[in-house]
Amino acid sequence: MSGIELALRITLTLHFIGLASLLGGFLTQMKAMKTGGSITPAIFHGAWTLLITGFGLTGLVYAQKAETGEAPIGWVLGLKFFIIVAIFVLAYMFNKKDKLPTWVLPSIGLLSVAAIAIATISGVVAATN
């Protein structure tokens, strides 16, 4: 296992931890969604972790391209970047609010599930043989 592959796997693990934090925080607020709820620390820190590790993963995928011959799928990475930035912006903007507008938490949940679906259904790299 090369150094880039090891770094990629560690960063991917941290990315999954951020996702688990984000979704866990969202799920704990589902009951409060009708009245607005709040951005929990789990949601906020999960969004931060996803954003930072997402940048790292993108760089590592491009760095690994030379070793494996797999080309990153640009539109998938771009779309995931847009979704994760949207999640982060929502979490950051409404972090200190005691009561959220009723659309914020469902939006964060939907965007999270969309990011997971895009990454798993389309993949992030394609073989260039």
The pLDDT score that the predictor gives to residue 129 is 57
Asked if 12 and 54 count as a contact pair (C-beta separation under 8 A), the reply is no
Tokens standing for residue 71: 């080309």
Tokens standing for residue 36: 């607005």
Q: Which of 8, 20, 97 is nearest to 54 (CA)?
A: 8
Strands (E), the chain: 70-72, 125-127
> With 60 as the cut, is the pLDDT of residue 7 above it?
yes
**Pairwise pLDDT comparison (19 vs 69), residue with the higher score:** 19
pLDDT digits (tens, 9 = 90+) for 48-67: 999 999 999 999 998 888 77
Q: Give me the residue spans of the domains in the chain.
A: 3-127
Cα(87)–Cα(35) distance, rounded to whole angstroms?
20
Asked if 87 and 15 count as a contact pair (C-beta separation under 8 A), the reply is no
The pLDDT score that the predictor gives to residue 68 is 78
Tokens standing for residue 42: 């789990």
Tokens standing for residue 11: 């960063």
> With 70 as the cut, is the pLDDT of residue 128 above it?
no
pTM above 0.85, yes or no: yes
The helix (run of H) or strand (run of E) holding residue 110 is helix 104-122
Length of the chain: 129
pLDDT digits (tens, 9 = 90+) for 71-104: 888 999 999 999 999 999 999 999 998 889 999 9
Q: Which of 61, 17, 47 is nearest to 112 (CA)?
A: 47
